[in-house]
Amino acid sequence: MNDNTRYDIITIGAGHAGCEAALAGARMGCKVMMTAINIDRIAHMPCNPSIGGIGKGQLVREVDALGGEMGRNIDATLVQIKTLNGSKGPAVQALRAQADKRQYSRLMKAKILAEPKIGLRQGEVVAIERAGEEELQVRTADGATFTAKCVIVATGTFLKGEMVIGEIKRPGGRAGESASSFVSGALQRLGLELGRFQSATPPRIWAGSIDATRMIAQPGDVGPLAFSFAGAGRRGRRQKDCYLTYTNKKTHKVIADNLHLSPIKSGSVSAKGPRYCPSIDRKVINFPDRDRHPVFVEPEGWENEELYLQGLTTSMPITVQEKIIRSVEGLEQARIMRPGYAVAYDFVLPHQLKNTLESNAVPGLFAAGQINGTSGYEEAAAQGLIAGINAALKCLGKEPLIVERSQAYIGVLIDDLVTKEIDEPYRMFTSRAEYRLVLRSDNADIRLTPIGHRLGLISDGQMEKTRKKRRGTDECLAKLKATSVRTLDLPGIAVVVAASPAVLKAIDLLRRPEVTIDTLAKIARLGKITKESRHQAEIETKYEGYIKRQLDQIAAQKRLEGVRLPSVDYARIEALSMEARQKLARIKPQSLGQAARIAGVTPADISILMVAIRSKTPAGGEN
């Protein structure tokens, strides 16, 4: 077999997961083939033209800290950026940027083509088969065959994809693209169990047909914001406004009068959809007493004349979509350029995967992105990066990377997927991370950049920048601890601290909610310390008690994570509850900590497992 058909890694799909997987594999030294049904739609954004958000923004920064591409790509192609939850605590603050979706796709394709170890090929994959004990073979519809040590399936919503508008159904993975008709069968023949989900998207309208004066402008932030730790954001950069308007009683009447035409009522779409991004028809059904729902009118690029109507997701007939849109203030003359639609697709039940995203049943086969039952570009990119890293490590004969939930939102995402039963498309939220005060957006580089550097995905220069940030934080804390401050010398807060001692350490003052690091900057002589390091010091000081409590919880959890579960015949441990035996046998947790997070496994079951492992009873194997 010649060099043009044999690779280390093959990625199937060129969305956000496929791109991160291919780039990570190639940058770690592996020869990669990337296949896609349409190579002109690399890293395309078929739904919301944005990156980031609450929980999602944390994922993007973690992808960047590990050496992924999404953060840098959106920084270079955004049309608006802002900090969400800016008035709340640092644990729930996150960046969100509107993208120029065409520029984003073009730039990502350019980065793929610039990697000498990546080969890009258009074609539909029709077969994935074992090729001996240590290789897999991929065949495309045009008859080409490729062999690799690892295959990463990152097919998004394309597996037996079926698009729905009203009563009209047709095959398709997303607007303008055909479905992947054969990969589902290939995965089932390899022994994987599949489920079916659905997603949907709102109509796009012509920007020249709205009346922005009747809506509320939503500008971006003027500060220098950026997702990537490698570059600084630009202050005063040109941005586009988004706009806010609302549905009304007239809108809801149009929907109510036509609910019989909605696919969710008629049964045209029966697969489970995302709970946290419901269609407007679902909102009207579920919230009959609500007078209005928000609609965010969002640009899709600098030169793109289409606007995305966040909040008006629907797959009702086009004539009804038009009536819905034109009932909304500011959209009375709106002209649809692309109708909204739903897409149903197959996915792999993710409990069949390891925390590395490799299949339990098929060595060398990985899955990443919406094929694992997730929703969102950010969740896909995070999975793609981890799958690409672990596929490369496998090819290189090295130990896999397992990101723990105490280390990163990425760890929370993957652990939830492989441990919990996914009955709807999974979406990341800060509330899913029990250690979210430790896993902040601002410290993702300190947490994860050393790992990316060790893998060869982070440059020496970027690693030194991260070390400098940590050294600056420690220096700032030391100065605050060493500096004494006369409380009367602090203008504007003297009344608040009037009952305090005449002299306090600066760090004790900083613990007060009304005192900021900027207030103490001159007094403690922090001039040479960077703004980033000061910000870290302020957070660590103000939330010291809470952070310590979470670190103690993490240490306790790590003791459970350190108890590895060998190959276990759970059916023979009669003291376990029947539900626990069934769930443990199905999910096959890799550690006692992971077993404890499975729904239906009780603390009593965990105690029984610990005894079984330590006594080498029918659990079998060693601790």
Q: Tell me the pLDDT tens digit for each residue of 265-322.
A: 877 777 788 887 889 999 999 999 999 999 999 999 999 999 999 999 999 999 999 9
Q: What is the pLDDT of residue 2?
A: 47
Assess whether 544 and 601 both reside in one domain.
no
What is d(CA 295, CA 251) in angstroms, rounded to the nearest whole number? 12
Q: Classify residue 507: in a domain, yes or no.
A: yes
pLDDT at 619 over 60: no
User: What residues make up the domain containing 599?
Assistant: 556-616
> Mean pLDDT throughout 260-267?
85
What is d(CA 390, CA 358) in angstroms, rounded to the nearest whole number? 8
Q: How confident is the model at residue 513 (pLDDT cuts 50, 70, 90)?
A: confident
Q: What is the pLDDT of residue 587?
A: 87
What CATH number is associated with residue 527? 1.10.10.1800
How does pLDDT run across 2-54, given as a tens digit for each residue?
Answer: 467 899 999 999 999 999 999 999 999 999 999 999 999 999 999 999 999 99
According to the 3-state scheme, what is the secondary structure of 537-558? Answer: HHHHHHCHHHHHHHHHHHHHHH
Assess whether 549 and 561 both reside in one domain.
no
Residue 443, burial from CB neighbour count under 10 angstroms (0-12, 13-18, 19+): buried
- Specify the amino acid at residue 619: A
Dmax over Cα atoms in the chain, in whole Å?
83
What is d(CA 369, CA 70) in angstroms, rounded to the nearest whole number? 14
> Mean pLDDT throughout 211-240?
90
Find out whether 38 and 180 touch, Cβ atoms under 8 Å: no
> Rg for the chain (alpha carbons), in Å?
26
Q: How confident is the model at residue 618 (pLDDT cuts 50, 70, 90)?
A: very low
Q: Would the pTM of this model clear 0.85, i.e. be above it?
A: yes
Q: Classify residue 171: in a domain, yes or no.
A: no
pLDDT at 614 over 80: no
Specify the 3-state DSSP secondary structure of 26.
helix
List the one residue out of 41, 9, 44 whose CA is nearest residue 118.
Answer: 9
**Among 514, 534, 553, which residue terminates a domain?**
553
> Mean pLDDT throughout 565-585?
87
**Among 553, 583, 599, which residue terminates a domain?**
553
Assess whether 482 and 564 both reside in one domain.
no
Q: How confident is the model at residue 621 (pLDDT cuts 50, 70, 90)?
A: very low
Find out whether 538 and 516 touch, Cβ atoms under 8 Å: yes
**Among 508, 535, 553, which residue terminates a domain?**
553
Task: Choose the weakest-confidence range: 244-253, 351-360, 418-427.
Answer: 418-427
What is d(CA 293, CA 212) in angstroms, rounded to the nearest whole number? 18
pLDDT at 75 over 90: yes
Q: How confident is the model at residue 485 (pLDDT cuts 50, 70, 90)?
A: confident
pLDDT at 620 over 50: no
Domains in the chain: how many in total? 2
Q: What is the pLDDT of residue 491?
A: 62
What is d(CA 340, CA 572) in angstroms, rounded to the nearest whole number? 52
Q: What is the pLDDT of residue 617?
A: 45
> Mean pLDDT throughout 484-497?
66
What is d(CA 617, CA 312) in angstroms, rounded to the nearest whole number? 57
> Mean pLDDT throughout 415-443?
94
Q: What is the pLDDT of residue 567?
A: 78
Specify the 3-state DSSP secondary structure of 465.
helix
Specify the 3-state DSSP secondary structure of 619.
coil
Q: Classify residue 54: in a domain, yes or no.
A: no
Q: Classify residue 42: in a domain, yes or no.
A: no
What is d(CA 425, CA 347) in angstroms, rounded to the nearest whole number? 10
Instruction: Determine the length of the chain.
Output: 623
Q: What is the pLDDT of residue 1?
A: 37
What CATH number is associated with residue 603? 1.10.150.570
The share of the chain scoring above pLDDT 70, in percent, equals: 96
Assess whether 510 and 529 both reside in one domain.
yes
What is d(CA 606, CA 559) in angstroms, rounded to the nearest whole number? 13
Backbone phi and psi for residue 423, each to the nearest 5 degrees, phi listed first = -110, 5
Find out whether 452 and 67 touch, Cβ atoms under 8 Å: yes
Q: How confident is the model at residue 497 (pLDDT cuts 50, 70, 90)?
A: low
**Pairing mode, strands 194-201 and 341-348:** antiparallel
Task: Choose the weakest-confidence range: 207-216, 268-277, 287-296, 442-451.
Answer: 268-277
How does pLDDT run across 79-89, given as a tens digit for each residue?
Answer: 999 999 999 99
Find out whether 253 and 236 touch, Cβ atoms under 8 Å: no
How does pLDDT run across 95-108, given as a tens digit for each residue?
Answer: 999 999 999 999 99
Assess whether 516 and 591 both reside in one domain.
no
Assess whether 538 and 600 both reside in one domain.
no
Q: Classify residue 154: in a domain, yes or no.
A: no
